[in-house]
């Protein structure tokens, strides 16, 4: 009996009990669809996290006011007293272990875009921020040192703001009003994605730090300093240099607590990757349980099939079939049932991915690797859970089979 004959016999036997075969395959279909969808979801989540973290850039550090709390991020805590200044940022920028540093003032303001009125995040900073965050321009120019020195009311807008408020005209040269003050648009940033405080890059406004209407207890204070170390290996050295510099500038001696904290954003990236990996593992375990249940169903039905076809097995052996022929026949039926169920499960998963993508809120893609994984898992399940019933059928004696009612 060759491979083609095995397949023909397998399909013929399965077709003889269509309803039972379909119900048995249902477990495999659901299991494979779950595994494929969950693998796709895991990949999509990791891709989403990587995309969001890429906006942060690499080798990133944040200097924020207040004592170290062990918490990342840049959101200011209630009651936090500003202690960092523009001069602190300039001194940090001059350190040999620091590639670039930018002081930051941030606020949420009412902005008038022509006839459109909305609330937007305004970031007051210096030109160094583009080197720190690896931000690039889609068109126009970024803010300059001259803009900072002269407190020019110019602004760079995010890509989404340009699309929503200036989709029918060129935003460059247009005037918007922040808290009633006119600012001229000189550039549009490229890209979108979450920034350090959770704001989308495409929804941000960037202006010279000396021109933004952010109120501070006294002139020269900033909310925090964003900086990039020269290389990833030098992050620890940069942290130490910054701490020593600011302690000296703030006249902090001995055992006195620092009035600032240095946050390494690599920890945020590591946490995000760990979440993505953990999610994939968790989803994979759920899918594996689904497949296990489906595999047990296959074994159960194959055992029932063997008990129902005892006389058929005896006749086949009586006319010359070897035990391995019987084993191969029942094993092929289990494998065929699993592979067909797996392919149907892939189709079901593809439909689910299309439905999710149609919402526009999440992007899932089923690749060749997902299909290959489904076929391999299906074959493995058929072989594993079909082996015992097939082996039991092959061990039956012809005489006992022919005596069976």
Confidence of residue 1 (pLDDT cuts 50, 70, 90): low
Strand partners for 226: 62, 102
The pLDDT of residue 185 is: 94
pTM for the whole structure: 0.60
Specify the residue for token string 């191969």: 328
pLDDT per residue as tens digits for the range 334-383 = 888 888 888 888 888 888 888 877 876 667 777 787 778 778 888 888 88
Per the structure block, which two tokens stand in for 310? 């005892």
The strand pairing partners of 221, in sequence order, are 85
| Distance of alpha carbon 99 from alpha carbon 117, whole angstroms | 38
The 3-state DSSP class for residue 84 equals strand
Under the banding of pLDDT at 50, 70 and 90, the label for residue 394 is confident
| Local structure of 152: helix, strand or coil | coil
Q: How far apart are CA 61 and CA 243, in angstroms?
A: 12
Residue pair 154/147 in contact (Cβ under 8 Å)? The answer is: yes
Same domain, residue pair 254 and 115: yes
Last residue of a domain, one of 213, 246, 264: 264
State how many domains the chain has: 2
Cα angle at 36 between 35 and 39, to 5 degrees?
Answer: 85
Residue 195: pLDDT above 80?
A: no
Most confident listed range (10-14, 43-47, 130-134, 164-168): 130-134
- 27 and 42 in a common domain: yes
Closest CA to 39 of 236, 234, 280: 280
What pLDDT digit, counting tens, does each position of 94-151 carry? 999 999 999 999 888 888 887 788 888 899 999 999 988 888 899 999 999 999 999 9
Q: What is the pLDDT of residue 78?
A: 44
| Together in a domain, 277 and 204 | no
Between CA 326 and CA 338, with CA 332 as vertex, the angle to 5 degrees is: 145
Q: Examine the fold and report which residue of 247, 264, 281 is the final residue of a domain before the chain moves on.
A: 264
b/e per residue, 296-317, with b = 16+ CB within 10 A?
ebbbebbeebbeebbeebbebb
**Residue 394 and residue 323 in contact, taking contact as beta carbons nearer than 8 Å:** yes
Neighbours of 193 (CB within 10 A): 14
* DSSP-derived 3-state class of residue 207: strand
Greater pLDDT, 286 or 139: 139
Mean pLDDT of 187-207: 79
Cα 215 vs. chain centroid, distance in angstroms? 37
Q: According to the model, what pLDDT value does residue 79 have?
A: 47
Do 137 and 217 belong together in one domain? yes
In terms of DSSP H, where are the helices of 85-188?
86-93, 128-133, 145-150, 159-165
- Taking alpha carbons only, the member of 93, 96, 76, 67 closest to residue 222 is 76
Crossing angle of the two packed helices 266-308 and 323-358, in degrees rounded to 10:
140
Q: 183 and 72, same structural domain? A: yes
Question: For residue 375, with 0-12 CB atoms within 10 Å meaning exposed, 13-18 middle and 19 or more buried, which class applies?
Answer: middle
- Residue 208 vs residue 277, higher pLDDT: 208
Both 253 and 289 in a single domain?
no
Q: Does residue 232 sit in the same domain as residue 309?
A: no
Based on the fold, state whether residues 47 and 78 are members of the same structural domain. Answer: no
The residue range of the domain holding 352 is 3-52+271-403
Q: What is the pLDDT of residues 225-263, one digit of tens each?
A: 999 888 776 788 888 999 999 999 999 888 888 888 888
Asked whether the CA dihedral 242, 243, 248, 251 is positive or negative, the reply is positive
Average pLDDT, the chain: 83
Is the pLDDT reported for residue 55 higher than 50? Answer: yes
Residues 90 and 117 in one domain: yes
Q: How much is the pLDDT for 405?
A: 59
Determine contact, residues 82/222, Cβ cutoff 8 Å. Answer: yes
In this structure, the answer to whether residues 218 and 200 fall within a common structural domain is yes
Q: Looking at the structure, do residues 9 and 150 belong to the same domain, yes or no?
A: no
**Per-residue model confidence (pLDDT) at position 360:** 67
pLDDT of 35 strictly over 70: yes
User: How many CA atoms within 13 Å lie on the side-chain side of 73?
Assistant: 12
Q: Do 64 and 265 meet the contact criterion of CB atoms below 8 Å apart?
A: no
- Residues 75 and 13 reside in one and the same domain: no
SS3 62: strand
Confidence of residue 289 (pLDDT cuts 50, 70, 90): confident
Which of 264, 292, 327 is the C-terminal boundary of a domain? 264
């Amino acid at each position: 009996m060759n491979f083609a004959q095995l397949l023909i016999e397998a399909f013929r036997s399965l077709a003889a009990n269509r309803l039972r075969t379909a119900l048995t395959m249902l477990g495999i279909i659901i299991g494979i669809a779950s595994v494929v969808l969950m693998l796709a979801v895991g990949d999509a989540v990791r891709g989403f996290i990587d995309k969001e973290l890429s906006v942060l850039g690499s080798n990133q550090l944040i200097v924020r006011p207040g004592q170290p709390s062990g918490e990342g991020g840049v959101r200011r805590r209630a009651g936090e007293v500003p202690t960092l200044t523009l001069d602190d940022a300039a001194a940090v920028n001059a350190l040999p272990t620091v590639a670039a540093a930018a002081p930051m003032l941030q606020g949420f303001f009412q902005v008038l875009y022509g006839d459109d009125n909305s609330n937007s995040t305004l970031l007051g900073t210096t030109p160094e921020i583009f080197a720190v965050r690896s931000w690039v321009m889609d068109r126009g120019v970024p803010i300059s040192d001259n803009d900072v020195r002269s407190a020019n009311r110019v602004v760079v807008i995010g890509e989404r703001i340009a699309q929503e408020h200036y989709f029918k005209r060129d935003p460059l040269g247009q005037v918007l009003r922040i808290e009633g003050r006119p600012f001229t648009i000189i550039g549009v940033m490229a890209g979108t994605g979450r920034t350090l405080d959770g704001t989308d890059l495409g929804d941000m406004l960037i202006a010279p730090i000396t021109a933004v209407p952010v109120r501070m207890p006294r002139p020269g204070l900033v909310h925090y300093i964003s900086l990039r170390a020269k290389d990833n290996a030098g992050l620890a050295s940069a942290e130490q240099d910054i701490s020593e510099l600011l302690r000296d500038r703030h006249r902090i001696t001995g055992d006195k607590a620092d009035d600032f904290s240095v946050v390494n954003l690599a920890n945020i990236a590591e946490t995000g990757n760990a979440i993505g990996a953990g999610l994939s593992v968790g989803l994979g375990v759920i899918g594996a349980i689904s497949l296990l249940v489906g595999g047990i169903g296959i074994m159960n039905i194959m055992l029932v099939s063997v008990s129902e076809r005892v006389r058929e097995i005896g006749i086949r052996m009586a006319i010359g079939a070897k035990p391995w022929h019987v084993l191969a026949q029942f094993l092929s039926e289990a494998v065929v049932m699993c592979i067909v169920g797996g392919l149907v499960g892939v189709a079901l998963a593809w439909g689910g991915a299309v439905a999710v993508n149609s919402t526009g809120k999440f992007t899932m893609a089923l690749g060749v690797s997902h299909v290959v994984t489904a076929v391999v898992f299906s074959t493995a399940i058929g072989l594993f859970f079909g082996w015992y019933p097939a082996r039991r059928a092959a061990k039956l004696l012809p005489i006992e089979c022919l005596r069976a009612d």
